[in-house]
């Protein structure tokens, strides 16, 4: 996988999308067969795993099947290597279909992690390398009766950094 700097903000973020920068992987032996974008809903877990352990997603799951099976992750896109010959942006949640995987709008009421995988197949063996590209926090809605303002905020991570917009209720 290409090197990605940590804590780089996404290129753009809306209520239902997050735009990330995709970089082509350098082939180490077997050529890249496909790139995959995986969306994982961050649900509260009773048992925490080590933060530095990253598990790739070896079984492709569509949004529909993930919903039926109540799985926290789904494949939002699978891209052929020819699609990613240079660094380029990709909007997760753009409501388009990529190689049979629907990339549905993200829910403002949920928090997500976005993963990028490079898949290589050679000699009957499949290898996957992955990296977490971004996180998208849930949107909260607050009413401030004293000022008659409707305030919306994105909460990102445990430290709850807020990016807010205000709207008058009158």
Of 156 and 67, more confident: 67
Q: 81-114, pLDDT tens digit by residue?
A: 999 999 999 999 999 999 999 999 999 999 999 9
- Check whether residue 79 and residue 156 sit in a common domain: no
- Check whether residue 48 and residue 63 sit in a common domain: yes
Please give the tally of structural domains in the chain: 2
d(CA 27, CA 30): 6
Is 5 contained in some domain? no
């Amino acid at each position: 996988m290409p090197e990605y700097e940590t804590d780089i903000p996404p290129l753009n973020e809306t209520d239902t999308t997050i735009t990330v920068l995709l970089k082509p992987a350098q082939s180490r032996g077997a050529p890249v067969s496909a790139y995959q974008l995986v969306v994982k809903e961050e649900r509260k877990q009773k048992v925490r795993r080590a933060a530095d352990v990253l598990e790739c997603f070896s079984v492709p799951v569509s949004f529909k099947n993930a919903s039926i099976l109540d799985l926290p992750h789904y494949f939002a896109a699978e891209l052929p290597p020819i699609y990613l010959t240079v660094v380029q942006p990709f909007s997760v949640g753009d409501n388009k279909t990529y190689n049979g995987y629907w990339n549905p709008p993200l829910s403002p009421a949920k928090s997500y992690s976005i993963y990028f995988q490079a898949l290589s197949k050679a000699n009957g063996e499949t290898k996957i390398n992955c990296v977490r590209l971004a996180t998208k926090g849930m949107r909260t809605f607050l009413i401030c009766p004293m000022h008659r303002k409707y305030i919306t905020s994105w909460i990102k991570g445990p430290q709850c950094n807020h990016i807010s917009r205000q709207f008058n209720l009158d």
